[in-house]
Structure 1
């Protein structure tokens, strides 16, 4: 694992554990809205590359009405690059999970991550790009919840556990 001081500043900023923890907490909130349960931990490793990669994030559907299989068939180039992006994000996602658990942003029960309920202080608004990432993370959580199982999601996206 590369030390923080050795990473390019953009990579260190975009893949910092606090950002990943916030992304995963928001994904878990979206998933819980649909299912009443936290997001399966394995889907954390799919949500991050879906949301952090700008091209993929911008291509995500506007609502959960589009089935994942339909989206995959409409976006073969993005789907083709997803497995590699997922592999490259394994360590940052693990660090984000650890950070989220240590700072009471996330909780874990068996194989599911849940967001620890928090209220944003009044008047605090995230910068536009962060707001877009969190908005899409919530959508991703709700959207991935619509597919039968995590194994189906992984298979459709070509990601191996």
Structure 2
């Protein structure tokens, strides 16, 4: 991890571990709410590369009725560079998980799954009055990703659909 003094201001703001931990906790909360089990650890590494990339975030369907596999087939352009984004954001994802655990937003299960802690409060409009429209869109899409992944099959199926390997 880069020291905060060595990060560009834009990088420090966009990849703020508190914000990224919130996105992961929201995804874990909605995944658990629909699947009745915690978010598999490996899937946490797909959340940030999807929701922080504006073109991919904008292309996501509005309903979980659209299956992941059919959406990927129709949106092959979103897969271009995705593996590199996952690799580039791996450190930020780990930092966000550590931050979320340390500050009580995320709990790790026995097998390393992610679950929102009992203290986690989802970022509602009232709680996020200082969020920009982009930050709100990221939180909304992170929740969607949690619900979508819960119905998309196994972790390996989801990774295969996105063209990456855990």
Offset from partner CA, 1:80-122 (integer Å, 9 cap, x none): 2211100000000000000000001000101310011334699
Instruction: Find the aligned partners of 2:35 and 2:153 in 1 and give their Cα distance.
Output: 11
Change (3 A) 1:69 1:123: closer
Instruction: Find the aligned partners of 2:55 and 2:164 in 1 and give their Cα distance.
Output: 18
Change (3 A) 1:40 1:122: closer
Matches within 5 A, 1:4-43: 4-43=4-43
Residue 134 (1) aligns with residue 151 (2): no
Offset from partner CA, 1:23-53 (integer Å, 9 cap, x none): 0000001101111111101001111111111
Change (3 A) 1:83 1:122: closer
For structure 1, the residue ranges without an aligned partner over 5 or more in a row are none
Matches within 5 A, 1:36-115: 36-109=36-109, 110-115=111-116
Instruction: Find the aligned partners of 2:56 and 2:34 in 1 and give their Cα distance.
Output: 22
For structure 2, the residue ranges without an aligned partner over 5 or more in a row are none
Aligned length: 161
- The runs of 4+ residues in structure 1 deviating greater than 4 Å are 120-123
Residue 160 (1) aligns with residue 165 (2): yes
Instruction: Find the aligned partners of 2:73 and 2:125 in 1 and give their Cα distance.
Output: 42
Instruction: Find the aligned partners of 1:95 and 1:79 in 2 and give their Cα distance.
Output: 24
Map of 1:116 onto structure 2: 117
Instruction: Find the aligned partners of 2:5 and 2:158 in 1 and give their Cα distance.
Output: 35
Deviation at 1:130, TM superposition (A): 1.6
Instruction: Find the aligned partners of 1:116 and 1:35 in 2 and give their Cα distance.
Output: 16
Map of 2:155 onto structure 1: 150
Map of 2:128 onto structure 1: 125
